[in-house]
Every structure is written in structure tokens, then in C-alpha cells.
Amino acid sequence: MAKTVEPGLYEYFGADWQTELGGESLNKSYQDYMMYLQHRQVTEGGCRHYYYDISMCGRIAKDVVAGFGYLLPDGRIQASGMDATLRQWAMRANALMQEQGYYPAGISGHATQSIPLVALPFYDSIVDSEFPMVDPITAYPKDSMIGMSCPHNFGCSVSHLRYMNLHWAAMHDSHGGGGGYPFSLPEFRNWGIEREDIEFVPYWRNGHIVKRIGDGLICSIWKRPARPGQAGSAVLAIMNYGLDPEGLEKTRPCDVSLDLKALGVPGNAGPERARVKELLKERLLEERHLGHLKWYKDLEGKPTNWDPKRIQKFRPEIQPKFDVRSGTLTGFDIFYHDQYYVVITWDETPVNDAAWKDALAGDLRAPALDWGIQGAQPVESGLVAVAEGGPKVSAWKRPGSVLLLVGNPSDKPAVGQVKLDIDQLRLRIKPDELFRDYVQVFHLAGAGRAENKLLPDPAQDDFKRSVGSAAALFYDGTRGLLVGTLKPGERRLVCLDRY
């Protein structure tokens, strides 16, 4: 395929640039020309990232003119590999992006089951798994995933397309290509997965923390150390790996014993200072990855709203139990080749609730503690404004986040509008920070949900149509405006997190 608009160029360089087996040769003259084009695309056209398809190792060519292969005595051509030219290409492209300040995150590529180790130091990300699989956990077994999908091995992000069971990828700190699933989900972001001090403890190297685990289970951990204004925490991904003979596919109870000191939990922490909950509330079971399993076929499902003949199946909600004295995590069952994400959060110091216990009582207390109310300060007067007759709002702040308790004390439904001073609260995203920084509204407690949304001007007629009957609280970060309809007596706890 000719990648130029200049007429006659490929015809002239054809023997040098096109390989007999198809595709570009990536030899020196081809690289020289393509780097010239890419330099113009970056400096004149505003390009910020390159994705190179077919960045695979093991490609061969028999093109002596292009510099590949050599003649044998009988006149045949012995093919040679192209890994060295792929490495040179990646080095030059990486240097181009560095010179323009677009490093890291300037270069990615695709290499299904053929990751080019010699070129990997110059890629920021490689995507794998571009082929349908009946059971990805069998097609990509432990050794393959540990060796070639854990990004810590190479300093390069290794992600997977949706043919992969992305929860299996996550067990190795890998993720879905493009979208970053599951780590891009609001729950993971709110927990702090993007912090630079997160430590990944994989299931194959966790013996200093996981002292005992039930047969057939594996557990990977992400640790978040405590810091001013935020409690310590750890996410445990617990998977029922098996392996079981086909047809047995045992559902197994969670049975994990942890060394709490190694995890970071203070030795004198009681049940309230060390709390446990399910992190991800996604219930849908992916038929494409699990549909061949007997337990999935036997599981009762529900017809979809858009097609009554199409059945969806869901994993049960769980209430994990955590014994802070023994470090034992139990209380739920896990389907074969499925998983749950459980988060344990702890406070470094005893709970001191004198300033907030009345406002954040009942089902608001644990979410507020998890958010970091222990190290928070009340938001100064004037930085959060509510229109006359609007909801009652209480607000606290800690570094990187603002906590809002929004309530409707009246006996009638009310459309609430809360205006925040996003400059003073450091929630404004400037134009040059777009696509790097962002603010997410996250629902912590109460009915409904919360989501980011660009809203019409409140003076316009379609503003009320946008929020009047919705069960959500919407946050418009361009205006610093939180709006939504609250039922009589309803209270909702949300936070605004800057990343």
C-alpha cells in the first residue's frame, strides 16, 4: 500500500520498499522518507501519537535489493528476518516524538502473540489478542501472560483487544487496548489507580502478603499507601482459576488469609478502621468469554430490553467479610474463570468524628471514611453556592478531591443547582491541560448515580429537560455546576476528583 501522495515514488523505489511477502521493508531509504513525512505531520499538522499496525517480530523477507536475504550457491534466496529494521524504525520514531516533547505516550503498535522484544524499549504501548478465542484463559495460559503481558517486565504497556477476557489481563496489571478497561472505570479511578505510588503485587509473587488461599484461587493486589488526607487501601482481584477438568468447573468460596502488617494495616486497627467492600459493581457476565462454560449455560438470565430473545446473565452482588484480627477474607463464592474485586481501606489513626459524625451518619459514614474525611477540611464559605430554595449542601476538601453532601430537606421534589468556585477549589481544567488532566464526579452513597455531562445554559428551556426527571446528579466541569433532581428528604454523597 503506497503511503504517499507523491506520484511515481513507489514505482521508483518499489524493489527497495516493497517486500516479496507483502508489506513495507522498513529499510533505510524507506525509513528516511517516512520519517520526513512524519516530522511534517508532527511539526506542521499537530500529530501527537503514532500507532503502527503489524509491529510484529518474526517477519521475514527474500528481497536482496532491499537488503534482506542472501543468494545461496544454487541461486535460491535465503530469507532473513526484519526485526532489526523494526527496532531501527522504532528508535527513530521515538526520537522524533521526544524531540517535540511528546514523550512518553508517543508510539504504540499491534503485535498479536509476536511481541518484538528488540524494539519494545522504544514503544510506549503494544496491543495483543487480535483473534477470536473460545476461552482466553486457556489460549493465554499463566506462563504466557506472566512472561509477555505484564508491563513491568519491559517498561512498556501491554494491552489486549476485546477478544481477551480483560479481567484475566488485569490479573497481570494489563488492560484493554484503547479504553484501558477495567482500570479506566470510575471505581478504579476514584480509588486512585493512577497515583504514582501504587504498588502492584502479582498473584505469582505475593507470598509475603497472602499467607493462605483456597485451592484453585489466585489473587493479585494493588496497594495504595496512606498519605495526608487519604487512607491506606488495597484492591484484591480474586479469580477462580482452577484448573478443572472440562465439565466440572467448580464454583469456589473465597478463602484468603492476609498478613496485615505486610499489607500496611496498623496492628491496632479495629473493624471500623479497617473496612472492606466490593469495588466494581459491574454485574454483566461476558458471554463471549464465558458462554462455553457449563455453569454459565445453567445460570438463569434475563432478556434484554432491546431484544427479548437475547439473554444476559449477571454475577451476584456480594457482601465480603473481613476479620481484621486474623486477616481472613471470606463471605462470597466465585464462578470458575470469573473474579471479584474487593477493596480493603484503613485509617492510620483512630477515628475522630467529632466534627462530622452528625452530618455523615448511617450509610454515609463508611463511604466518607473511605474518601478520607479523617484528613479533610470544611470548604470555606463562599466557594460553594446554592440558589435560594435549592438543596442543602455541606462540603469538605482534601488534596485532589472535594466531598459534597447534597440534600433536599423539603417535602417536594427539587431541581438542585450547586455552583462551585472551581478556581479556588483547583477543579478547573485549562485548555492546555485537556486530555491530560480531568475532573470526575463519583457517586459514593444515596440513591441514583452521578456522571459528567456538558449541560445547556441554566437559562435555556432545554436545561430542565436535561436534568428534570433524571436519577443522576450531573457535573458540568466547564461551569463548575452540579445539578440534579432530588426527592423529598433525599441525600446524596458525591465527590469531585481531579486526576
- Amino acid identity for residue 466 in this structure: S
Domains of the chain: 9-128 (no CATH), 186-346 (no CATH), 362-498 (2.60.40)
Enter the pTM of the model: 0.91
Cell numbers linked to 488: 423529598
> Tell me, what's the pLDDT at 472?
84
Angle between helices 28-43 and 9-17 (to 10 degrees): 130
Q: Is there a cis peptide before residue 186, judged by omega within 30 degrees of 0? A: no
The CA distance from 159 to 166, in Å, is 9
Taking CA atoms, 471 is separated from 12, 317, 466, 486, in Å, by 64, 21, 11, 8
> Tell me, what's the pLDDT at 413?
83
Question: What is the enclosing helix (H) or strand (E) of 16?
Answer: helix 9-17
Tens of pLDDT along the chain (499 residues) come to 567 788 888 888 888 888 776 678 888 999 999 999 999 999 999 898 999 998 998 888 888 877 888 999 999 999 888 899 999 999 999 999 999 988 777 899 999 989 999 999 999 999 999 999 989 999 999 999 999 999 999 889 999 999 999 999 999 999 998 789 999 999 999 999 999 999 999 999 999 999 999 999 999 999 999 887 789 999 999 999 998 877 789 999 999 999 999 999 998 888 889 999 999 988 999 999 999 999 999 999 999 888 888 899 999 999 999 999 999 999 999 999 999 999 999 998 899 999 999 999 999 999 999 999 999 999 998 999 997 777 899 999 999 999 999 999 888 887 778 999 999 999 998 877 766 788 999 999 998 889 998 887 766 666 666 665 567 899 999 889 998 888 899 999 999 999 8
Cβ-in-10-Å burial (0-12, 13-18, 19+) of 333 comes to: middle
Cβ atoms of 178 and 191 within 8 Å: the answer is no
Taking CA atoms, 266 is separated from 159, 233, 345, 371, in Å, by 35, 12, 11, 18
> Tell me, what's the pLDDT at 403?
97
Cell numbers linked to 176: 484493554
Closest-CA residue to 271 (of 189, 372, 396, 365): 365
CA 145 to chain centroid, in Å, comes to: 18
Cβ-in-10-Å burial (0-12, 13-18, 19+) of 191 comes to: buried
Cell numbers linked to 480: 463548575
Phi-psi region of 116 (alpha: psi -120 to 50; beta: other; left: phi over 0): beta
